[in-house]
A and B are shown apart, each in its own frame.
Chain A
Amino acid sequence: MAVRTGGRIRTIVLALLSLATAAPLIWMIGVSLMPKGAASAFPPPLWPGHPTLANYRELLFPHIDASGGATSYRIVPAIVNSTLLATLATVIGLGLTLPAGYAFAKLRFTGRARLLQAMLALAVIPTQVTLLPLFLMLKAAGLINTYAGVLVPGLAGIYGVLFVRQAALAIPDEMLDAARLDGASEWHILTRIVAPLLRPVVVTLALFTFLASWSDFLWPLIAITDQRLYTLPVALAAISREHGQDVELMMAGAVVTTLPVLILFVALQRSYFSGVLGGGIKG
């Protein structure tokens, strides 16, 4: 009996904590559906009385501004850029880290231990430290203001390699050796046996990489000067500098920027959690 009331109290505490955590996100959606100026009242309304999509229309489509000209916030191209860049970052990132992580775990080759130690040692370098020289290097290569320039810093995927290696260690050697006896090439083993086994880890890593690229702000802010190449966070920050007072419009922008990744995360949450929680290998 005591256990049950304890459980109930804990459930209520957790429910309140979860609600408090989610409140800003729920409010963000609510305000984005309010008519102009509604959110600035005191006390702030929690939910729109008459929901409207006007802010989204203004944000996403060309509209007539105060001086009579048609303007657009260029959010749609930014969505395309962000999606493209995050997808590229994910595909290239996994293409680099998955084979490497597996090789460090399971393939015997000269220098493996030493290379792995070097990777571990390099993991402590904060990427921010490299940004200044990287800018000069990319300028020399003519890659500033290109997609390639945005992608480059993310390619040194040490964490990805270590993450995949940790999971791949659990793969039984007999399985791989059996496949080798059957005459399978190493590439075949990687794509047909290892990758399916590591599915939760691959999904987790893919989601991680996608999210990191989608949300990255600091580097694209510097590496891109042409607004046609702006990513969503950079475009949103630029709009907020000019229209920061327009709370409802900014919240619509925040929803457009955040909702895609939230939906992606909810859809893949099972694999993701099991990947993070070291589920490692599919049973």
Chain B
Amino acid sequence: MSDLKFTDRIDLRLRINDIDTHLEAIDARTSLLDLLREHVGLTGAKKGCNHGECGACTVLLDGRRVNGCLVLAAAVDGREVVTVEGLSDGEQLHPVQRAFIDCDAFQCGFCTPGQVISAVACIAEGHTTDEHEIREWMSGNICRCSSYPQIVEAVQAAAASENERIPS
């Protein structure tokens, strides 16, 4: 038997949306998604399928998009998390949020937070060369409202505005 100490309750320190967050005695089964929603009170990331199939729970972990439902909270102690709540600067919306509004790229709102986070990452990764590439790299976010054309448009618009801001 291993010398490792296995525990069913875990203390965690995470930096969430630029705030150092200390959580005590978290059940070892808790997913990052449940941690955010149930323990931190950030309900932007949604619990859709809870199996990694829909993308509604997408958050940035150390700057990279992941499915929050498939991440064990205990495993990401010390890491940095950004949720949809962390994108805006006060009342100033993130350019991707602005583009989603301008392009009417959302409907019921359940998939939108994950779509927005994924779009932020998709642009940062540089996967916005054309509509096909955007569709491919946004395919991990499923929206039953079928607002895909507007979402592609929003990603294109936000990517263009981000590029405009890069000094030549």
Q: Do A and B share a complex?
A: no
Name B residues whose Cβ lies closer than 8 Å to a Cβ of A. Answer: none
